[in-house]
Structure 1
Amino acid sequence: MELRHLRYFVVVADELNLTRAAHRLHMAQPPLTRQIKQLEEEIGVTLFERSRRGLALTTAGQFFYEHTLQVLEKLDTTITATRRIARSNLLMFGIGFVPSLFYGQLPLLVRGLRQKDNVELSLVELTTVQQIQALKAGRIDIGFGRLQIDDPDVEQEILFEEPIIAALPAGHPLENTQPTLAELARYPLILFPASPRPSLADVTLGLFRRRGLKVHVAQEANELQTALGLVASDLGITLVPEQVGRLKRDNIVYVPLAEKHITTPIICSRRRGEPPSPVMQEANAILKVLVDNRLSGRYP
């Protein structure tokens, strides 16, 4: 599949008429028809219903159309940003992060780096495993996650340990307590992220399993916000890093655990053996201040 197939498909889907679509694309109709058929054959799905009255998107075609628009929009945005960087000689700096870190000090790092006029930041939501792959491929320059992963090409630094707390639906029997994991295990568990694994979901399950506790996973969610929405709907409880407690939502209460030693690390990942660029040096300096503030209690 080539990019032109997607662009041709979008124009045909917009026009629902091959003659008008071919005119817009400045090409003859027969080759356009062949390109659309090639696309359908490659995907293995009929995208258009064909009748005497013209074309109509199938259900699968409508789904493909909506997502293709997103792909092309993202591509156009990337091309525009790339041209801007080339014209202005900006330095690109990619940051990968797991969502739960954005409720703590990570925004302060981003804010500090954005004050540099010659830096273009790229923020990418990635699991720790995905961050390792993105670092090795050069798609990001630094990653912030929660899993320790042994890879010869990547170095990891534990910045600090963060307590784990429980997110409960409002009115839950444990709302005004500091529950133990044994008490929490009695209630349905919302697990996140569902994929890709390993992830915080495996860390959560490991906490219960190491204590011989069986849990009932009522639902798995890919996104933190979805998991919290399920908790607010009274479908279960979930465990989250302490920073997430800053996110106030209706029908959710956060409670600390009785076991104060249960924590999750915040881990910074960088490419191993690579001399730090000026932007990386600036990022490291900001990080040092943020970590020092956290460890000294100046930032909760």
Structure 2
Amino acid sequence: MNIQHLKMLKILDRCQSISKAATCLYLSQSALTRQLLMIEKELGFSLFYRLHDGVKATPSGRYFIDQLEDVLDRYDRAVAGARQRSVTLPAQLRIGIYSYLIHVVPQVCMAAQRQFQGVSFDYVVCRLPETNQALTQNKIDIQLLADCSEPLSSNLDCIPLFHCPNCCKIPQGHPFYGKEKLRLSDLSHKQVLTLPPDRTQNAARLDQILRSPELDIEVIYFETPEQAEAISLARKIPIMTLALPSEKDCFSVTQLEELSAIKLGMIFRQNDREELKPLLDYFQNYFMRHPNDFLPMRFLTADL
């Protein structure tokens, strides 16, 4: 059993489903099942009950998995510290972020700061197609939580982190406030707030879907998250968004059933991969093991 197997168990416990965990880990279901059987054989006890609608930790599995957090934390600290001593990171790293992730990315970098104390993080707000251009022109070093669904320039590379569902942020007072799931047809003949299609690949895909004549949805574009929230609260209009936390409890986040999740990850210059490897590995492990820091609701994290 290796450390990746331990991380796999944490993800399977979080997803409570072989198929959902396999998607999150970029494995086939058969490969994940084989690895789980191998681990259980090595340990000598069953970690999960196999249920008709998923998996659930056995009492022995619950105890074992709960102990893994400290083990994995110590491992990550040891690896990060050792790599810092073997590879010199730049004293300043410029992290590209999208405006709607302005509350998420600094939180992740603050956690990284404890491991990489000699590095300072600067944040640069980018729009697409500015992201690839900013990387190519050496204006940023990493674009964090970028849409990795589209092909990249030959000089860039991407490490996927997780799948993030498309959702609606519903203002308090709206009839749909507090609902866990909606269909697009529920929004027919209504207004929604969304990013302009030139802002991200996901925004362009959403715009095309929302403008379908069959739906008859009135689309209103917003420029900043603050503007969107102000309009939403004043006029009781849902905001099209990703399943990321809201800073205000006057919004609920509702999953849209027909829209596929998008693949978010880190984009960086290929030539910088070795130099940035300690930090890239840290971010990858952080997002794998701390999903509730940025996908706060159980029903959304379970659907990854």
TM range (shorter): 0.5 to 0.7
Structure 2 vs 1, CA of residues 275 and 173 (structure 1 numbering), >3 Å: closer, same or farther? Answer: closer
1:202-244 deviations in Å (ceiling 9; x for gaps): 2321343579533211x3211112112111112522211111x
Q: State the distance in 1 between where 2:128 and 2:160 align.
A: 13
Q: What is the aligned-residue RMSD (CA, Å)? A: 3.1
Task: Indicate the residue corresponding to 1:167 in structure 2.
Answer: 169
1:181-214 deviations in Å (ceiling 9; x for gaps): 111233112122x385445432321343579533
Task: Indicate the residue corresponding to 2:183 in structure 1.
Answer: 180
Task: Indicate the residue corresponding to 1:205 in structure 2.
Answer: 207
Q: State the distance in 1 between where 2:199 and 2:122 align.
A: 24
Q: How many residues align?
A: 205
Q: State the distance in 2 between where 1:212 and 1:268 align.
A: 36
1:289 and 2:285 aligned = yes
Q: State the distance in 1 between where 2:295 and 2:168 align.
A: 21
Could you list the runs of 5+ residues in structure 2 that have no partner in the other structure?
1-88, 297-304
Matched-pair contact (CA < 8 Å) for 1:165–1:256 = yes
Structure 2 vs 1, CA of residues 139 and 297 (structure 1 numbering), >3 Å: closer, same or farther? Answer: closer
Please say which of residues 105-114 and 265-274 is displaced more in the overlay: 105-114
Q: Secondary structure at the match of 2:206?
A: helix
1:240 and 2:238 aligned = no
Percent identity over the alignment?
Answer: 16
Q: State the distance in 2 between where 1:103 and 1:212 align.
A: 35
Q: Within 5 Å, which residues of 2 pair with 1:105-254?
A: 107-113=107-113, 115-144=115-144, 145-146=146-147, 148-177=150-179, 178-192=181-195, 194=196, 196-208=198-210, 212-217=214-219, 219-234=220-235, 236-243=237-244, 245-250=245-250, 252-254=251-253
Structure 2 vs 1, CA of residues 196 and 205 (structure 1 numbering), >3 Å: closer, same or farther? Answer: closer
TM-score, normalised on structure 2? Answer: 0.58
1:99-144 deviations in Å (ceiling 9; x for gaps): 3334446522343136534323211111242121111011111102
1:179: how far off?
1.6
1:158: how far off?
2.4
Structure 2 vs 1, CA of residues 297 and 176 (structure 1 numbering), >3 Å: closer, same or farther? Answer: closer
Matched-pair contact (CA < 8 Å) for 1:113–1:282 = no
Q: Secondary structure at the match of 2:237?
A: coil
Please say which of residues 136-145 and 108-117 is displaced more in the overlay: 108-117
Tell me which amino acid in the other structure corresponds to 1:208.
Answer: L
1:91 and 2:94 aligned = no
Task: Indicate the residue corresponding to 1:15 in structure 2.
Answer: none
Q: Secondary structure at the match of 1:282?
A: helix
TM-score, normalised on structure 1? Answer: 0.58
